[in-house]
Structure 1
Amino acid sequence: MDVALIGLGKMGLGIAENLSQKEGYQLSGMDLNQKVKSEFEKQHGAFYSNVDALFSEKKSRRIVWIMLPAGETTNNMIKACCEKLVMGDIIIDAGNSKYLDSKLNFDYCQTQGIHFLDVGTSGGMEGARNGACMMVGGEELIFKELEGLFADLCVENGYLYCGSAGSGHYLKMVHNGIEYGIMQSIGEGFNVLYHSPYDYQLGEVAKVFNHGSVIRSWLMELTENLFKETADFSAIAGVIPSSGEGKWTVEEALRLNLAIPVITQSLMTRYSSSDNEKINEKVIALLRNQFGGHAFVKEE
């Protein structure tokens, strides 16, 4: 099976490493970053820096695996690929695209005679290399044709055909919303432990939580790791970037008139962490001073 990988970042390279360990795959790769060229060519296959070069050779039934930033970058790449592919070829968007974009990309590919699957990918870099979890949307016949590919890339029972176009990325969107909420709870819980009157060794706490407790999980394993690796939290800026899926989950819940307070609060916490000016808090502090003469703290 010929698989062209577009986007050789940490996840894309992980997928390449995964497939290179399996039989029956001929890989090629494309990325604008020339720094990955030698590594990819040495271990996986031919490397190209643009779409024209990537598709210059005629091959039967191309599989194009895209892992690029969501939005315009991915959408434009899909259109660029459609110009070079032939009827019956398959594009797989395995990034974190918005499900509405995936529905539009599916429709566009259909007009070009190209098949399209949207694949939500979970498991991080470790999963990409050694066995991921994947949620697949699009034509069921195309999924069945490529089911062996997903079986090779995923852990046992680690892939699911979800339904029509967009369903894979919709499920990954909600997955990431759940992830936001779980991480928020872990952070809050360890914040209480950190400020408690007891001298807890937080790495050991995470370790014992992960052995037989109700809240054991991979995220708790990572929590144990981070406390072992990070001795000085004062050197870490408490800024939590938001990659988009949490926001999309909240937007979808609002569209459906559903209450999801935990996921919503986790998103608001991320926004608040990035607000260096803290106008919200300053206005409240000054309002308390206005109506009650309450003291406020001045910046030093």
Structure 2
Amino acid sequence: MQIGMVGLGKMGGNMAERLRRGGHEVVGYDHHREASDVGSLKELVDRLETPRAVWVMVPAGAPTQQTVDELGKLLSEGDVVIDGGNSHYVDDQKHAAELAEKGIRFVDCGVSGGVWGLQNGYALMCGGDDSVVQHMMPIFETLKPEGEDGFVHAGAVGAGHFAKMVHNGIEYGMMQSFAEGWELLEASDIVTDVKGCFSSWRTGTVIRSWLLDLLVRALDSDEHLEELRGYAQDSGEGRWTVQAAVDHAVPLPVITAALYARFASRQEDPPAMKVVAALRNQFGGHAIASAEGSVGMGADSPGADVTPPKVR
């Protein structure tokens, strides 16, 4: 099958290569000219036979919107646009409606697999009309892992990225649990082989997983993670998952806490903790650290001289 691939970064480039290895003809376009088969989106569209299929793998938000807008001007009735990036499911519904006015069909597809997808395949979560999804199945079959699992037609337009959003929210919680367990083991006085503990859990335990395998792999190269700074970005999907939970009145305490932990990781001197330190000093006379790094009781530390307010 012939397909255009827009966006040839770490994910898109490997996906294009997996499709080529599977016997498909891929015409790739990227802003970085050296990675492209063509020099523009127009040239990509001109190279494809009708009905055309174009897979978009660019960052969510404005880049995706701009790409969809331009494709809407270049493609024809009956062509297909697949958004495989990490778009918000609400944007999918907007894009599908815009393209439908011109007779262009739309599928949203959440993709998971990272840099390992070329070798292992990609888990795909699709949303869209059944006839369009079935039309694109040769592409999906090549991209997915071998076997029965790894692909789902999750529902109507938006369902694929909604499913991927929840997938990433679960990933946040799992990663945070491993991180907190690692920190506690490292802080222990009696556990001397933290890496060995995680490695031993890969067989026969209920927490064995690919994430656990990847953590052990990281510890193999840096046992105490001394070469890393404790800073973690978040994709938009973690935030969208929490927002969707609010919209649907579904409690997500673990995923929400994991998202907030990432926010905290970016603060060398968390402002909120200044308030906590000040209050501990005020009510208990606890030592506080100055901005210069010195530790003391504080110039106005009240000790036991402050009379607590009466409780009414």
**Shorter-chain TM-score: which interval?**
over 0.9
Shift of 1:208: 1.4
Shift of 1:51: 1.2
Instruction: Tell me whether 1:272 sits opposite 2:264 in the alignment.
Output: yes
Q: What one-letter code is carried by the residue in structure 1 that aligns with 2:14? A: G
Gaps of at least 5 residues in structure 2 are: 294-312
Shift of 1:129: 4.3
**Partners of 1:21 and 1:57 in 2: how far apart?**
20
Secondary structure in structure 2 of the residue aligned to 1:48 = coil
What are the equivalent positions in structure 2 for 1:146-225 lying under 5 Å apart?
146-155=136-145, 156=147, 157-225=149-217
Q: What one-letter code is carried by the residue in structure 1 that aligns with 2:170? A: I
Shift of 1:230: 1.6
Q: What one-letter code is carried by the residue in structure 2 that aligns with 1:31? A: D
**Partners of 1:286 and 1:70 in 2: how far apart?**
41
1:256-276 Cα offsets, whole Å, 9 max, x none, are 111110000000000011123
**Partners of 1:224 and 1:57 in 2: how far apart?**
45
**Partners of 1:33 and 1:58 in 2: how far apart?**
20
Secondary structure in structure 1 of the residue aligned to 2:150 = strand
2:80 aligned partner: 90
**Partners of 2:86 and 2:195 in 1: how far apart?**
31
Shift of 1:3: 0.7
Secondary structure in structure 1 of the residue aligned to 2:289 = coil
Picking from 103, 116, 136, the partner of 1:113 is: 103
Contact conserved, 2:219 with 2:225, CA < 8 A, in 1? Answer: no
* % same residue: 37
Cα distance, 1:186–1:272 mapped onto 2, change above 3 Å: same
Shift of 1:125: 1.7
Q: What one-letter code is carried by the residue in structure 1 that aligns with 2:201? A: F
Instruction: Tell me whether 1:29 sits opposite 2:28 in the alignment.
Output: yes
Q: What one-letter code is carried by the residue in structure 1 that aligns with 2:128? A: G
Query: Greater shift after overlay, 268-277 or 166-175?
Result: 268-277
Instruction: Tell me whether 1:62 sits opposite 2:55 in the alignment.
Output: no
2:132 aligned partner: 142
**Partners of 1:58 and 1:225 in 2: how far apart?**
42
2:69 aligned partner: 79
Secondary structure in structure 2 of the residue aligned to 1:55 = helix
**Partners of 1:9 and 1:263 in 2: how far apart?**
28
1:5 aligned partner: 5
Shift of 1:198: 2.6
Secondary structure in structure 2 of the residue aligned to 1:270 = helix
What are the equivalent positions in structure 2 for 1:260-299 lying under 5 Å apart?
260-298=252-290, 299=292
Secondary structure in structure 1 of the residue aligned to 2:42 = helix
1:22-81 Cα offsets, whole Å, 9 max, x none, are 12x2111111123434xxxxxxxxx12321222234622111011111111111101111
Shift of 1:234: 3.1
Gaps of at least 5 residues in structure 1 are: 38-46
**Partners of 1:235 and 1:261 in 2: how far apart?**
31
Cα distance, 1:67–1:200 mapped onto 2, change above 3 Å: farther
**Partners of 1:73 and 1:129 in 2: how far apart?**
28
Q: What one-letter code is carried by the residue in structure 2 that aligns with 1:289? A: N
Picking from 226, 250, 258, the partner of 1:258 is: 250
Contact conserved, 2:195 with 2:223, CA < 8 A, in 1? Answer: no
Question: For the aligned residues, what is the CA RMSD?
Answer: 1.5
Secondary structure in structure 2 of the residue aligned to 1:15 = helix
Provide the aligned length of Structure 1 versus Structure 2.
290
Shift of 1:149: 1.5
1:106-150 Cα offsets, whole Å, 9 max, x none, are 111111111100000112121244311100001111111111221
